[in-house]
Structure 1
């Protein structure tokens, strides 16, 4: 099994390629939770995510023959970029298979680091099948995204940095996809500070680790459905599972709505951009997915910041909806002059801002003398939403909340 010595050796191999990323105290999240929250900003890492660490360590351990044959891997995006950059820096040819729906930003970035990108399959697991075909066809070395001890050891260097930069840490919170990240971090932390808790977090739509721990063996779930594409795997690794069983204290899950709110919080309050997987640890703290004490020193690992702009837009809107700051309503008005103005006067009187208005006179659900109206509104929280809806209904309008 992976040991501390492996992580220490990995640190020397990755030192020139990866960055020692910042760890900063957050007054905002400490005040919100009562804990002492320190953000580990791995989204500031080269390639925008932690994966460069494990990829570099694996590439650095290739034999001369393996280097000459090149490497291949499968990835939803971050591991792809890590392998591409690590291989290019080592003069090794790389071919990366990514899911067909991989974020465009990650595909472009992977190509920019020097790799050939092949798009195949609906998710990571399907892409991995194609990558293994290429491995056999071309004699390349497969660089696994997580179930590889060299990769796990490279990711574990984050644990060393956390212990050095936050001497009084009580709990470290880590996202789990395939398990390589948390396996490496838990190995480093438990060897040096066995009293420090290591908490793993998954999305409820991709919770293979939680299911595996409950059963006592690796479970492959039927499919994944989450905005956190970086941890959207149907199963964790056999090697990572063994480490997680022995060294991780607890694995919890959070919903996509909670992840979206954490992304929006970080963007608005901390001016920090993270992808869904990177926000998962903070979501677990904010929504108390695990128990912690007042004043407990907690380090959530913001594992990556490579979020597609289209996804970021969706996540921001979802976050605004969940916090009561975005409202879309539908109602029916008389199709006559001044009817819309009367409704808008109520809305403006309660200080709601209008984003958009859409009229529909052709709906079969209304009388020919009426018009259906949809209005997108900026609101100031759940209390404001309730106050506004009550005022509109008190004036005789039947309101349907669309989002």
Structure 2
């Protein structure tokens, strides 16, 4: 009985997954070296605090801002000349498409990109700026991919999927560079979406240096690869939006899963707030602008998920830097809130000028910066002469924030409440400051 239904893809056949060969990755490295230069692997400024010798592999500085270029150029250059003239079709949320578009333009290969309606407008625009024909179709990536395969079949155009062997071999060149730059590496932490990057990295690293640990990390919001490993087979989960949008994949790659399944040492799940904190840390302390997916490896360290790596040499792959300005701003604010540096609370005060002055002086004398405030006189039950102020204040950190809570509670007993976790908990004396940090 044949499995070759209309959406069957022989290069991503669940019954016959393609295994990445080390030799093919070496060939891919030779193939792409005229297009892509090695990216730096630079030490972190966070080593003393974390106790881990952290190094960042900066795939963010690729021409289109992510490691996806490696797979794109490898796959495009391996296309037969006749197919290159006709063009290619790709379905993507952004990074994969941008890599194909950029090198398609370089090589004179027409590119059609299928994107779902949920795609970030900036990524759609970037693909158009790179000369691609963009078709918006489907409410999610799975729908866009199904449409893309049908479109390619109808037009007689080559379809390029992120799980194809040539794409994965291109991704594997990241690991070759890291092994050359960091021969004393003890572990590597890799962002995981559909699994192509971690599969390629694990295949190369375990071939050359089997004792080196390879960890995958993804948001707990959409733990598709994690759940697939638990189930022993690829599974699909309902899509959930995530701050790490580039790895918020409801499915896993057939080839990626098969290659990574027996090579990964550990899969880690990180909270959304940890990813936000990692983005904030990378901007403030490392001077790197990194998208949520790329910040996930550092999020695992900030969340204290890898205590066994203390004193070890650990490489975090910063897989991409394509984060739009709006999401970056939200991520930084969320990171500040997660660290206790932005505090939201409400307080009832008398609706008189002198009471406002007293409240503002209270904040100023404590060194707090009032970021936002909203005054509510209408929906205040049984209070005709008092106003509820909803405020967001900036603090210097967790201890300073706890002090704000104590100051406000002393000044306005039984008339205030703090909405930002963990400050909505009564156990917020200084002795709990350390334990209130994410574990």
* Residue equivalent to 1:31: 48
* Residue equivalent to 2:105: 88
* Residue equivalent to 1:238: 254
Distance 1:29 1:122, change over 3 A: farther
Deviation at 1:368, TM superposition (A): 2.5
* Residue equivalent to 1:18: 36
Structure 2 counterparts to residues 221-300 of structure 1, below 5 A: 221-300=237-316
1-side partners of 2:115 and 2:60: how far apart? 21
User: Which ranges of 4 or more aligned residues in structure 1 deviate by more than 3 Å?
Assistant: none
2-side partners of 1:373 and 1:111: how far apart? 46
Indicate whether 1:102 and 2:119 are aligned.
Answer: yes
- Using the size of structure 1 for normalisation, the TM-score is 0.96
2-side partners of 1:187 and 1:193: how far apart? 10
Secondary structure of the residue that 2:190 maps to in structure 1? Answer: strand
Secondary structure of the residue that 1:49 maps to in structure 2? Answer: coil
Deviation at 1:242, TM superposition (A): 0.7
1:288-343, Cα deviation, whole Å (9 max, x unpaired) = 32342432110000000000110001000000001111112211222222111111
Deviation at 1:358, TM superposition (A): 2.2
Secondary structure of the residue that 2:396 maps to in structure 1? Answer: coil
2-side partners of 1:356 and 1:35: how far apart? 37
Deviation at 1:362, TM superposition (A): 2.1
* 8 Å contact from structure 1 (residues 77, 106) kept in 2: yes
Indicate whether 1:114 and 2:103 are aligned.
Answer: no
* 8 Å contact from structure 1 (residues 259, 276) kept in 2: yes
2-side partners of 1:49 and 1:66: how far apart? 26
Q: Which residue of the other structure, out of 295, 310, 317, is the alignment partner of 2:333?
A: 317
* 8 Å contact from structure 1 (residues 125, 233) kept in 2: no
2-side partners of 1:401 and 1:139: how far apart? 60
1:330-372, Cα deviation, whole Å (9 max, x unpaired) = 1122222211111111111211111233222222535222222
Secondary structure of the residue that 2:252 maps to in structure 1? Answer: coil
* Residue equivalent to 1:363: 379
1-side partners of 2:311 and 2:339: how far apart? 26
1:256-285, Cα deviation, whole Å (9 max, x unpaired) = 111000000000000000000000111112
| Count of equivalent residues | 401
* 8 Å contact from structure 2 (residues 380, 388) kept in 1: no
2-side partners of 1:254 and 1:94: how far apart? 35
* 8 Å contact from structure 2 (residues 380, 387) kept in 1: no
* Residue equivalent to 2:158: 141
Structure 2 counterparts to residues 57-96 of structure 1, below 5 A: 57-96=74-113
Secondary structure of the residue that 1:43 maps to in structure 2? Answer: helix
1:149-207, Cα deviation, whole Å (9 max, x unpaired) = 10000000000000000110010110111111111111211111111111111111121
* Residue equivalent to 2:418: 401
Indicate whether 1:349 and 2:360 are aligned.
Answer: no
Secondary structure of the residue that 1:206 maps to in structure 2? Answer: coil
* 8 Å contact from structure 1 (residues 229, 276) kept in 2: yes
* Residue equivalent to 2:212: 196
Secondary structure of the residue that 2:124 maps to in structure 1? Answer: helix
Deviation at 1:217, TM superposition (A): 0.6
* 8 Å contact from structure 2 (residues 175, 204) kept in 1: yes
1-side partners of 2:380 and 2:55: how far apart? 55
Indicate whether 1:172 and 2:188 are aligned.
Answer: yes
* Residue equivalent to 1:46: 63
1:17-46, Cα deviation, whole Å (9 max, x unpaired) = 2231000112x2211211111111111112
Distance 1:366 1:253, change over 3 A: same
Higher mean C-alpha deviation, range 71-80 or range 296-305? 71-80
* 8 Å contact from structure 1 (residues 99, 122) kept in 2: yes
**Structure 1: runs of 5+ lacking an equivalent:** none
